[in-house]
Amino acid sequence: METNKNEFSNHEITVTYEPCLCIQSGKCAKELADVFSLSIIPWINLDNADNSEKVIKQINRCPSGALSYRLNSNKKAS
């Protein structure tokens, strides 16, 4: 059975989750519970993020690489 990638977006970033890579460490939900939840669907809610930089830092700490992100083209440069 093939599992498709899941994408979650807001106006600044798009987060992609690859479930086949996930080792279920729970690091994302433990460290940034406002955005990542193990018990709520959709389990990634970017609307709860204070800012995209926090989400990016958390994604970069994903031990399996199951989470990734890309900046949306309509994001204004700082």
What total number of domains does the chain contain?
1
Q: Is residue 57, in this structure, part of any structural domain at all? A: yes
**What share of residues in the chain are helix, strand, coil (percent, to 5)?**
20, 20, 60
Q: Is residue 40, in this structure, part of any structural domain at all? A: yes
Sequence letter at residue 30: K
> pTM, whole model, 2 decimals?
0.82
Q: Is residue 77, in this structure, part of any structural domain at all? A: no
Domain range for 65: 6-71
Q: In CATH, what number is assigned to the domain containing residue 40?
A: 3.30.70.20
Q: Is residue 38, in this structure, part of any structural domain at all? A: yes
Give the pLDDT confidence score for residue 74 in this predicted structure: 65
pLDDT bin (cut points 50, 70, 90) of residue 57 is very high
pLDDT at 56 over 90: yes
CA torsion sign, 20 to 37 to 44 to 15? negative
Q: Is residue 31, in this structure, part of any structural domain at all? A: yes
- Give residue for tokens 């807001």: 10
Give the pLDDT confidence score for residue 38 in this predicted structure: 87
Q: Is residue 1, in this structure, part of any structural domain at all? A: no
pLDDT bin (cut points 50, 70, 90) of residue 28 is very high
Residue-wise pLDDT tens digits, 29-50? 999 999 999 888 889 999 999 9
pLDDT bin (cut points 50, 70, 90) of residue 73 is confident
CA distance 25 to 77: 33
